[in-house]
């Protein structure tokens, strides 16, 4: 299942992501991957989590991010937790297209089930700014 950590900028989403990723590293029986746009989390995340920056791979848009996450899962069957920081920044121009966002979440749900992986996305928005037909667990900050 996909979990969305939602809240406005400055609400503590990234801090919570770091805490949850560090806990997942300790408790997981597989790999933990943290995806971010740039190298902001390099020194705040445990070295045991795999940190990947989308800027290094020119990832922009929901389709590109989905393909990127699929490739990671296909290349490493041991990934049990994926955390994505700044999802809307990675989405670029797609960020304002609610249909693309809902489709992206639906595809991620299928990926999470097929790969037996937990996926958590950080979303800089309030609940009322998101489409009502999202098939994801929402956790407000």
Model confidence pLDDT, tens digit, residues 48-79: 999 999 999 999 999 999 999 999 999 999 99
What are the residues whose beta carbons fall under 8 Å from the beta carbon of 99, sequence distance 6 or more? Answer: none
Instruction: Check: CB of residue 9 under 8 Å from CB of residue 126.
Output: no
pTM attached to this predicted model: 0.94
In this structure, which CATH number among 3.40.50.300, 2.160.10.10, 2.60.40.420, 3.90.550.10 belongs to the domain 2-136? 3.40.50.300
Instruction: Check: CB of residue 123 under 8 Å from CB of residue 88.
Output: yes
- In the chain, what are the domain boundaries? 2-136
For residue 136, is pLDDT > 90? no
pLDDT digits (tens, 9 = 90+) for 87-126: 999 999 989 899 999 999 999 999 999 999 999 999 999 9
Place of tokens 């408790």: 27
What does the mean pLDDT of the chain come to? 93
State the number of CA atoms in the 13 A half-sphere of 12 facing the CB.
6
Instruction: Check: CB of residue 121 under 8 Å from CB of residue 7.
Output: no
Report the distance separating Cα 108 and Cα 114, nearest Å. 10
Instruction: Check: CB of residue 79 under 8 Å from CB of residue 31.
Output: yes
**Banded pLDDT at 26 (limits 50, 70, 90):** very high
DSSP calls for 67-132: HHHHHHHHH-TTEEEEEESSHHHHHGGGGG-HHHHHHHHHHHHHHHHHHT-EEEEEEEB-GGGS-T
């Amino acid at each position: 299942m996909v979990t969305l950590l939602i809240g406005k900028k400055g609400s503590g989403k990234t801090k919570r992501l770091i805490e949850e990723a560090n806990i997942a590293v300790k408790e997981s029986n597989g790999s933990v991957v943290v995806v971010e746009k740039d190298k902001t989390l390099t020194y705040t995340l445990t070295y045991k989590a795999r940190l990947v920056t989308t800027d290094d791979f020119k990832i922009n848009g929901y389709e590109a991010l989905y393909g990127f996450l699929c490739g990671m899962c296909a290349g490493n069957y041991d990934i049990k937790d994926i955390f994505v920081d700044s999802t809307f920044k990675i989405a670029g121009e797609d960020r304002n297209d609610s249909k693309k966002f809902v489709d992206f979440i639906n595809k991620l749900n299928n990926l999470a089930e097929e790969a037996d992986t937990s996926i958590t996305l950080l979303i800089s928005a309030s609940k009322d700014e998101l489409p009502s037909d999202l098939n994801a667990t929402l956790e407000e900050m």
